[in-house]
Amino acid sequence: MGPARPRPSRRGRTTSALRFFRDSGEAYNTARTLTDLAETRLDGDEFEAALPLIEEVLAALEGENAAYHVAHLRGLRERCVTPQ
């Protein structure tokens, strides 16, 4: 057994997944991954970094039947514009 390799961070894994889904044209998984990345940013109080991710997902979901996801994103956006 060789030395243990460092585990990639959640943000690193999410960024890699985002690249994959964008490159493969998977809109749904791109939106979910952007949401995960935005939540990770919010967990780190990175409100300015999270907001454009949230806005991108909201624009992508416009006109889709995604009311639950859109409501969740609006809540995340509210955290960005009115941080506690």
- With CA atoms as reference, report the closest residue to 59 among 25, 84, 34: 34
36-63 pLDDT, tens digit per residue, is 999 999 999 999 999 999 999 999 988 8
2-29 pLDDT, tens digit per residue, is 555 545 577 788 889 999 999 999 888 9
pTM for this prediction: 0.81
pLDDT, residue 84, reads 66
Query: With contact defined as beta carbons under 8 Å apart, do 76 and 39 qualify?
Result: yes
Three-state DSSP string of 9-50: CHHHHHHHHHHHHHHHCCHHHHHHHHHHHHHHHHHCCCHHHH
Query: Does position 1 have pLDDT exceeding 60, yes or no?
Result: no
pLDDT, residue 8, reads 56
**The two structure tokens encoding residue 5:** 């390799």
